[in-house]
A = this chain, B = another copy of it.
Amino acid sequence: MKVKEVADLVGISVRTLHHYDAIGLLVPDHTTEAGYRVYSPANLERLQQILFFRELGFPLKDIQAIVTRPTFDRLKALEQHQQMLRAKRHHLDELLQTVARTIQHAKGEIEMSTAEQFKGFDFSHNPYEQEARQRWGDEVVDASNAKLKAVTEQGKMQALQDEMNALYRDLAAVRHSDPASEAAQAAIGRWYLLLQRMGNYSLDAFKGLGQMYVDDVRFTQNIDQFGEGLAVFMRDAMAVYADHHSS
């Protein structure tokens, strides 16, 4: 299939396809002698994934990092899309409630607080992240995302960021070893202590956090920057650490 056929079928522009090719996000199967792009069924499958991620608000750069990873699991991603789309629909239901109540309010039928007027407008977080933030707090999530916000004391935050990055690198260096090994456990112990500095977390929570690193593509992507498969390794090492220290 060539560009117009794909564009018409899918409902996107030819320009979008050019752009995606140019940034390496969706490279056509091959090109004709004339230089025409030819897309394969596999290309279309990739495009579907891209569009799901796009629909869910992921930046193209992030999408590219995710879908081009050798360990990218299409089925798992689809299941995650499903969950995120359900969350999106839940938010849309909230918006519908808000508009219905606003209509009633405008007709003088009910009272409505200012906060209620804006219920449902924030779509900025995916469900995993929301859950994680509720369970562990913003700082732990941001730490895992390696995206600490410049809150106050920039120097202090920078030092913490550097410390985290160093720890990620140490962990990446041993990620091909046994998660239960002495080196792995020493490094993951330091990770646990670092998180403890942000709050008191149970070992169960620590173990659950590790699982979330793997379950959510955003966490995975951010962590795997330091080395392919690091998120999986950390999950395993964190589980071992938690089990070992709870007995």
A13 CB → nearest B CB, Å: 10
Contact B118 A99 (CB under 8 A): no
A89–B91 alpha-carbon span in the complex (Å): 10
Question: Would you give the 0/1 interface string for A101-116, flagging 1 where the beta carbon is closer than 8 Å to chain B?
Answer: 0110011000000110
- Contact residue among B10, B85, B99, B124 (Cβ-Cβ distance under 8 Å from A85): B99
Contact indicator A44/B107 (Cβ below 8 Å): no
Copies in the complex: 2
Residues of B close to A88: CB separation below 8 A: 92
**Which residues of the other chain, B, contact A124 by a CB distance below 8 angstroms?**
11
Known pairs A117-B48, A122-B11; A82 contacts B106 (CB<8 A): no
> How many A residues, CB 8 Å from partner?
39
Query: A59 on the interface (CB 8 Å rule)?
Result: no
Contact B95 A85 (CB under 8 A): yes
A118 touches B78 (CB 8 A): no
For window 41-58 of A, CB contacts with B under 8 Å fall at 41, 44-45, 47-48, 51-52, 55
Partner of A44, one of B9, B86, B114: B114
Whether the pair A55, B95 counts as a contact (CB closer than 8 A) is yes
Q: Of B89, B100, B107, which is within 8 A of A89 by CB?
A: B89
**What residue in chain B is nearest A82 (Cβ atoms)?**
B99
Q: Is A151 at the interface (CB under 8 A from chain B)? A: no
Q: Mark A176-206, 1 if CB is under 8 A from B, else 0.
A: 0000000000000000000000000000000
A162 to B81: give the CA distance in the assembly, Å. Answer: 47
Which B residues are in CB contact (< 8 Å) with A41?
Answer: 114
Residue contact B118 to A10, C-beta cutoff 8 Å: yes
Can you list 12 A-B contacts (CB < 8 A)? A11-B124, A12-B121, A41-B114, A44-B117, A47-B118, A55-B95, A81-B99, A82-B103, A85-B99, A86-B96, A89-B92, A89-B96
- 6 smallest CB-CB distances across A and B, nearest first, come from A11-B122, A10-B118, A82-B99, A78-B103, A48-B117, A75-B106
